[in-house]
Structure 1
Amino acid sequence: MGFPCYEAKDAARFIRDECCVRHLANVEYDPAAKARFERNISGPYLIWCARQGVSTGVTHE
C-alpha cells in the first residue's frame, strides 16, 4: 500500500498523493478525487473495520 503515517502531515501527504490533488479540500469538491478517496482509502478502511468487527458509523453515499 503506502508508507506508515506517524504524523498528520504524513497522512495528509498520502491522501493528496493517492487522490492526485494539491489540497485536501479538493477531495470534497472534485468528483474524480472523491472517487479515488473512496476507492483507495475509505473503502478499504471500511472493509477492514467490518472484518475486525469495528463499527465506524460511516457509510458511503
Structure 2
Amino acid sequence: MPAWSQASEEARTSAAIAILGIWEYMQRAEPAPHRPRLVTVARQWVSYRLQTAPVRA
C-alpha cells in the first residue's frame, strides 16, 4: 500500500487510533461475536504504535 508506506509515524498512529474508535463504536452499536477480538487487536496495535512512536522534543 504505497500511501501507507509514505505516511508519517504520526499519521500511522492517528490511523490506528481512528480504527480503534471505529471498532469500539461498532461493538457498542451492533455487537457481533467477532467484534470483541477486533477491538482487542486494535487496542494492541494502538498500544504498540504509542510505545514505539519516536519522541519529539
- What TM-score comes out, normalization by structure 2 length? 0.41
Tell me: higher relative CO, structure 1 or 2? Use CA pairs within 8 A at least 6 residues apart. 2
> Structure 1-normalised TM-score?
0.40
Q: Give the number of the structure whose residues are more often helix, by fraction.
A: 2
Structure whose alpha-carbon radius of gyration is higher? 2
